Amino acid sequence: MANASIAVVRTVAELRDIAAGWRKSGDTIALVPTMGALHAGHIALVNKARSLAKRSVASIFVNPAQFAPHEDFGRYPRTFDADCAKLKAAGCDLVWAPDVKEMYPDGFATRIVPAGAAEGLESDFRPHFFGGVATVCCKLFTQVLPDYAVFGEKDYQQLQVVTQMARDLNLPLRIVGLQTIREADGLAMSSRNAYLGADQRKSAAAMYAAISEVARSVAAGGDIAAATAKARQHMLFEGFEKVDYVEVRDAVTLKPVEAGAGGNRRVLAAAWIGKTRLIDNIAV
Ligand code: AMP
């Protein structure tokens, strides 16, 4: 079925047919998993996918398995027609858009339980989250059988969890991470930014400013606890109502780092403005 003249596929059977045809012709495939409400960050992933493989597939699926009952599954922005038009304009070949029954048919009862990089940070506040992400990503990978899957560093812990899962389960694809695309004031683009009112939107830029300052300070040998405490205060002062975490972690394992330790480190943060929870991260 075509939507704004991009091919939209709704069933696993049809998807497999098309992808098998591509593989038979020797075409490589890159997948960009999304939940829709697409912005320039998602389109950057599609551009990367197109540079990696002959064929690109974007999935649009708001995955109920990664939302807790009290979270925003019901009100998550859904802009399917506009998404399809953007994907078409970006040169994407196919939209994979199953409904919930196609992804999780009656009787579905299997769940991937990621540990390692999934421990702590987001999991302390959204314990259901990475199980839902890993399960749907594993399914997306086995449905599309892509050579590459492209993920944003915006969801940095997710990128590490999916990378670990692909390695642990010998999934025959390469996970590729892409840097975060930001608004002019530094705010990471996110579908959830649509929830923000004008004042909240202004306040939201304080998260990037705060974690950037932590990165600078820690890179210069500053005390991690002092830098992260200052970042929390800065965000609260600028209009965030609650800070879930500001942490400096090992960039691959996401384990806490010792004071004074060098190596590859990442600053990660999550905080609330009103009913909106924002996350961001940056390299030290
Ligand atoms: P989402 O639809 O928000 O679940 O995200 C789908 C993919 O887009 C994930 O790999 C995200 O990390 C990525 N993504 C979301 N926002 C950005 C951004 N601002 N820059 C780069 N990638 C992003």
Q: Spell out the per-residue pLDDT of the chain, length 284, in tens.
A: 544 489 999 999 999 999 999 999 999 999 999 999 999 999 999 999 999 999 999 999 999 999 999 999 999 999 999 999 999 999 999 999 999 999 999 999 999 999 999 999 999 999 999 999 999 999 999 999 999 999 999 999 999 999 999 999 999 999 999 999 999 999 999 999 999 999 999 999 999 999 999 999 999 999 999 999 999 999 999 999 999 999 999 999 999 997 666 789 999 999 999 999 999 999 99
First to last CA, the chain: 46
191 lines ligand 1 (CB under 6 A): yes
| CA atoms of 197 and 114, how far apart (whole Å) | 35
For tokens 């950057």, name the residue.
44
CA of 219 to the centre of ligand 1 (A): 26
| CA atoms of 5 and 53, how far apart (whole Å) | 21
Helices and strands of the chain, counted as H and E runs: 9, 10
The strands making up 265-273's β-sheet, listed across from edge to edge, are: 242-250, 265-273, 276-283
| CA atoms of 233 and 90, how far apart (whole Å) | 40
DSSP assignment of 10-27, as one string? -SHHHHHHHHHHHHHTT-
CA 42 to ligand 1: nearest atom: 8
For tokens 């991690």, name the residue.
224
Answer yes or no: are the C-beta atoms of 240 and 246 closer than 8 Å. no
181 lines ligand 1 (CB under 6 A): yes
Residue type, 53: A
Q: Which residues contact 165 (CB under 8 A, 6 or more apart)?
A: 112, 114, 134, 137, 138, 171
Strand partners, 57: 31, 94
128 assigned to active site: no
156 lines ligand 1 (CB under 6 A): no
